Amino acid sequence: MNLEPVAIDNQVTRKVLAIVETNPGILLADLIKIAYQKASLDDIYTLIATEQIYVNLNTARLSEPEQVKVFANREIALAYERITSVKPSSIPSNLQSVEIAVGKSLSWDGESWDVVNTGTTTTGLLRTDGKFVELPNATVFKLIQDGQITVAPIQSTAKQQQLEELLRHAKPQDIVEANHRYTQLSPYLSSHPPVGITRTIRRWRKAYQQATEIYGNGFVGLLPKNTNKGNYKPRLDPRVQEFMTTFISENYESLKQRGRLRVYESFRIACESQSPKINPPSFNRFCLEIQRRSGYEQTLKRQGRRAGELCGFVRSSKKQAITKSFSQ
């Protein structure tokens, strides 16, 4: 649209923008209700028409406000679409970290399976309907290599909230850059990527993989790390780093097999009880530390010797697959 701006009081514009920025993707019907005493219906529709707030008119009609999502601008709308529509399965299966350990969920032939037993020669899987199968480990490894067994999609409300929180705190220019990177990276996420790959694309793909493993969605991994250029993880106070590492070792890396989010919640409470109090790092940073420590030793402490050995075998196979892919 190229309409001349219509005179709207600046204070009204700021108030509407504040609502939209705080609630990305707010339904137009809800925006109208919330802003009722701050902006008229004409004000809101004028802001849309002059693109001071953004609505994708290709996906919904303004005559159906309960179906229309409103964003501060097009780039943010595009980013939110990608964190809700980009699935882990868009990564080639040979680039996914498929961990075979008791309690892990896998996707096989369109069904969700839980690993319930890991033996020296076989692995036991339990389907959601109660069906149990036992497969030779060699068969499991082959299914992983062929992409028939993959990481189960993560559909956690908590994780989705974390994704949205990361976007909410991202700078506008960083969201623009992430969208640009995703457009450039997309062809290399398919099962048949183009021949030849630059170092930049390789670095972005690695960041996308890491975010997928943590959040179930790789898009946020493409946000620039401007606060610590050249360093993926922000520096922590040595006291905080030591306390976090010890807490992960004692509470996450144990046979109780507690989940990351639950351990982090306990970690935050523990930080409050310290004297002086510790300002806990973000959940994202906490997960990155867990990821950094992942491997044979961590799996051994959480799952036992047999699972540790199986994890080591799977990671070795994955490393070979990634090396082969990167050489393309």
What is the token pair recorded at 83?
């964190």
Give the whole-angstrom CA distance, residue 308 versus residue 118. 10
Tokens of 22: 């705080």
pLDDT score, position 180? 94
> Per the omega criterion (within 30 degrees of 0), is the bond before 276 cis?
yes
The rounded distance, in Å, linking the Cα atoms of 13 and 128 is: 50
CA dihedral defined by 258, 262, 265, 266, rounded to 10 degrees?
-30
Token pair for residue 264?
């982090």
Strands (E), the chain: 26-27, 69-70, 105-108, 111-118, 122-127, 132-136, 149-151
The beta strand positions in 166-248, using DSSP E, are none
Of 123, 317, 305, 284, the residue nearest 213 (C-alpha): 284
Q: Report d(CA 65, CA 31) in Å as an integer.
A: 9
Residue with tokens 């109090």: 277
Distance from chain centroid for Cα 165: 11
Between the CA of residue 107 and those of 141, 169, 217, 236, what are the distances in Å? Answer: 14, 32, 16, 36
List, for residues 269-315, the tens digit of each pLDDT value. Answer: 899 888 888 888 877 678 778 877 777 677 778 777 654 455 554 44
The pLDDT value recorded for residue 283 is 73
Give which of 286, 154, 272, 163 is closest to 221, Cα–Cα.
163
Q: Looking at residue 111, what is its pLDDT?
A: 77
Q: State the number of CA atoms in the 13 A half-sphere of 222 facing the CB.
A: 26
Contact 244, 289 (CB under 8 A): yes
Helix (H) or strand (E) holding 235: none
Backbone angles phi, psi at 107, to 5 degrees: -115, 125
Instruction: Dihedral sign for Cα 10, 16, 19, 23, please.
Output: negative
Residue closest to 228 by CA, chosen among 279, 281, 158: 281
pLDDT given for residue 326 in this prediction: 38
For residue 194, report the phi and psi dihedrals to the nearest 5 degrees: -60, 155
Alpha carbon distance 318, 325 (integer Å): 10
pLDDT tens track, the chain, 328 positions: 444 555 788 889 999 998 888 788 889 998 998 888 888 999 999 999 998 999 998 888 898 898 899 999 999 999 988 887 644 434 444 445 677 876 677 888 877 787 777 778 888 887 765 677 889 988 988 888 888 888 766 445 556 667 777 887 888 899 999 999 999 998 888 778 888 889 999 999 999 888 887 777 889 999 987 533 433 444 678 888 899 999 999 998 888 878 877 788 889 889 988 888 888 887 767 877 887 777 767 777 877 765 445 555 444 544 444 344 434 4
Q: What distance in Å separates the CA atoms of residue 177 and residue 186, rounded to the nearest whole number?
A: 14
Which string of b and e fits 141-151 if b means at least 16 CB within 10 Å? Answer: bebbbeeebbb
With beta carbons less than 8 A apart as the criterion, state whether 126 and 117 touch: no
β-strand pairing of 105-108 with 111-118:
antiparallel
